[in-house]
Structure 1
Amino acid sequence: MQILGDPLYHLRLLGRMGHTVGADLVQAFEAGKIDNETWTQMITNCRGCPYPQKCHAWLDATEQAAAPPSGCCNAESLHQLRDAAKKDLGK
């Protein structure tokens, strides 16, 4: 059984990752693009990652990026949220 990382640390890490790749999780939640269950699952995915220190270092060195680093377990969700936000801006 894998031990999950600290929930608050990973919530912050996920928020930073979203910001870096252009996927605002708070805005997505407020707009109804994600619900509590989806957000919780994304945090749990992050908590289960065996390499959060690599992610943290990547975020420290990266202001903006088109995609999360290779291996990010939330990459697909972040891409979808980013693309939905871009589409909404184009309306």
Structure 2
Amino acid sequence: MDRDEELLRGRVYGTDHDDPNPGPRPGREYAELVGGPLDGLLLDITGWSAQETAAGAALPTELGRFGAGGRATYAPAAGTAGRWAWTGDIA
């Protein structure tokens, strides 16, 4: 794992890069993103309905195949509660 990957692990998706506490917060529910450009980040899914979590998410990122303006798609991974697997990048 390179230094950039190490810095991203345990961070919550969407937190500011200069946030002194970019990790998970008590009382919140998170999905771990596995694979793809956001591998290792946590997605705050607190308050999401069962239908919303089942649908997954298309998350804006500059790290994916399409660069700025692109999104990485993630969906709940079968048989692994709390983990969402990368399903691809979209423009």
Normalised TM-score (structure 1): 0.28
Q: Per residue, is there more strand in 1 or in 2?
A: 2
Which structure's relative contact order is higher, taking Cα pairs within 8 Å and 6+ residues apart? Answer: 1
Report the structure, 1 or 2, having the larger helix content. Answer: 1
Q: Could you tell me the TM-score, scaled by structure 2's length?
A: 0.28
